[in-house]
């Protein structure tokens, strides 16, 4: 079985500053750490690095650092950080990122922005610049922002967009699970009506606080499958963010093997639904990101 992790993070606070890191996440997660979390029962494994939101102005340095450890970590492509709403400054940032061959897309982290930013002309201009370069856009939003992504996709139809973490729906907890919210379901279906939009099966463990049951999360995978079809889904670990159990200790604890467990959860679900595992875990992500 071949697996490409479509959503892997790496960072080292000794190399770059990350204002959002705290508790068990405020540690190094780099080459040595990911090598200890390689997936069992996999013949070939690779990864797409997704920007980890260092302090502003250091996105290019982040790309340089990831490039320097790419061979050790199995990273074959980079989704770099960039602000898309700053006109000429955006153009210059994209030009600098283009000097690095592994960069194939951008993520402007929308989950921490005001609702509606992706609908502004400034943001759409930046999105069109991505499309002209043949790059992709990772949309990391909270559930109420999914319609903003739908509007962006409609206004820039030649930009390939992938929704990170299924739009971060409310999944409840292992002991008190939540059923898929009807509003989220409707919004996901409307987004999926835009043919260039894909969806990552990632991040749900983090939304559950790092502890989950398969029965709790598979209904959300079913909604994504119904909306996007198997050909527009890809698996991502969201490592190490989704490997933190926030029920342990005061600030949470890193759980060895959580990445493997999420892989197994999605693999078992895919087998039970007749989803082509090679497409879900390999070829869909390669095709979306244009990796050859």
The two tokens of residue 257 are: 């093997």
pTM assigned to the model:
0.98
Model confidence at 6: pLDDT above 90 = yes
Give residue 248's pLDDT. 78
Give residue 292's pLDDT. 87
Q: What is the mean pLDDT of the segment spanning 6-18?
A: 98
* Alpha-helical runs (H) found in the chain: 31-35, 59-73, 88-97, 121-133, 146-155, 182-192, 204-207, 214-228, 258-273, 277-278, 284-289
Residue range 90-146, pLDDT digits in tens: 999 999 999 999 999 999 999 999 999 999 999 999 999 999 999 999 999 999 999
Give residue 101's pLDDT. 98
Where residue 250 falls among pLDDT bands split at 50, 70, 90? confident
The CB density around residue 169, as the number of other CB atoms within 10 Å, is: 24
Give residue 154's pLDDT. 98
Tell me the sheet residues that pair with 139.
Answer: 163
CA quadruple 230, 231, 236, 242: dihedral sign? negative
Where residue 247 falls among pLDDT bands split at 50, 70, 90? confident
Full DSSP string of 53-117 = --STT-HHHHHHHHHHHHHHHTEEEEEEE--SSSTHHHHHHHHHHTTSTTEEEEE--GGGSPTTG
Q: Which of 15-24, 28-37, 177-186, 240-249 has the lowest mean pLDDT?
A: 240-249
Yes or no: say if 196 and 163 are a contact pair by the CB < 8 Å rule.
no
**Nearest to 112, CA basis, from 51, 66, 172:** 51
Model confidence at 85: pLDDT above 80 = yes
Give residue 182's pLDDT. 98
CA quadruple 109, 110, 114, 119: dihedral sign? positive
Model confidence at 84: pLDDT above 90 = yes
Q: What is the mean pLDDT of the segment spanning 69-88?
A: 98
Model confidence at 10: pLDDT above 80 = yes
Model confidence at 87: pLDDT above 80 = yes
Q: Which run of H or of E encompasses 283?
A: none
Give the span between the Cα atoms of 69 and 249, in whole angstroms.
Answer: 32
The two tokens of residue 223 are: 């909604």
The CB density around residue 133, as the number of other CB atoms within 10 Å, is: 16
Q: What is the mean pLDDT of the segment spanning 82-94?
A: 98
Map out the domains of the chain with their CATH numbers: 2-289 (3.20.20.140)
Tell me the sheet residues that pair with 183.
Answer: none
Residue range 188-212, pLDDT digits in tens: 999 999 999 999 999 999 999 999 9
The answer, yes or no, to whether the previous bond of 147 is cis (omega within 30 of 0) is no
Q: What is the mean pLDDT of the segment spanning 41-69?
A: 98
Model confidence at 249: pLDDT above 90 = no
Model confidence at 25: pLDDT above 80 = yes
**Nearest to 202, CA basis, from 285, 136, 286, 137:** 285
Give the span between the Cα atoms of 73 and 188, in whole angstroms.
Answer: 33
Give the span between the Cα atoms of 38 and 57, in whole angstroms.
Answer: 32
Distance of CA 127 to the CA centre of its chain: 18
Average pLDDT value over all residues in the chain = 97
């Amino acid at each position: 079985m071949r697996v490409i992790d479509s959503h892997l993070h790496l960072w080292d606070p000794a190399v770059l500053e990350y204002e959002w890191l705290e508790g068990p996440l405020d540690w190094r997660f780099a080459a040595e750490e990911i090598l200890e979390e390689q997936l069992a029962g996999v013949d070939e494994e690779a990864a797409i690095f997704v920007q980890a939101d260092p302090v502003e102005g250091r996105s290019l340095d982040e790309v340089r650092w990831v490039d320097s450890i790419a061979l050790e970590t199995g990273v074959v492509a980079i989704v770099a950080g960039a602000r898309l709403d700053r006109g000429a400054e955006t153009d210059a940032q994209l030009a600098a990122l283009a000097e690095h061959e592994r960069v194939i897309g951008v993520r402007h982290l929308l989950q921490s922005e005001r609702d509606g930013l992706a609908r502004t002309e400034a943001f759409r201009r930046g999105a069109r610049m991505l499309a002209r370069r043949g790059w992709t856009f990772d949309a990391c939003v909270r559930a109420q922002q999914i319609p903003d992504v739908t509007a962006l996709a409609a206004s820039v139809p030649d930009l390939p967009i992938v929704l990170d973490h299924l739009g971060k729906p409310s999944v409840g907890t292992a002991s008190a699970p939540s059923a898929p919210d009807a509003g989220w379901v409707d919004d996901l279906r409307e987004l999926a009506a835009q043919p260039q939009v894909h969806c990552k099966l990632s991040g749900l463990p983090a939304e559950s606080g790092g502890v989950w049951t398969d029965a709790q999360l598979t209904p959300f995978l079913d909604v994504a499958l119904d909306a996007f079809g198997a050909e527009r889904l890809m698996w991502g670990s969201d490592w190490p963010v989704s490997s933190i159990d926030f029920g342990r200790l005061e600030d949470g604890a890193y759980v060895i093997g959580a990445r493997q467990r999420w892989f197994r959860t999605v693999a078992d679900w895919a087998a039970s639904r007749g989803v082509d595992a090679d497409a879900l875990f390999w070829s869909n992500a390669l095709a979306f990101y244009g990796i050859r």
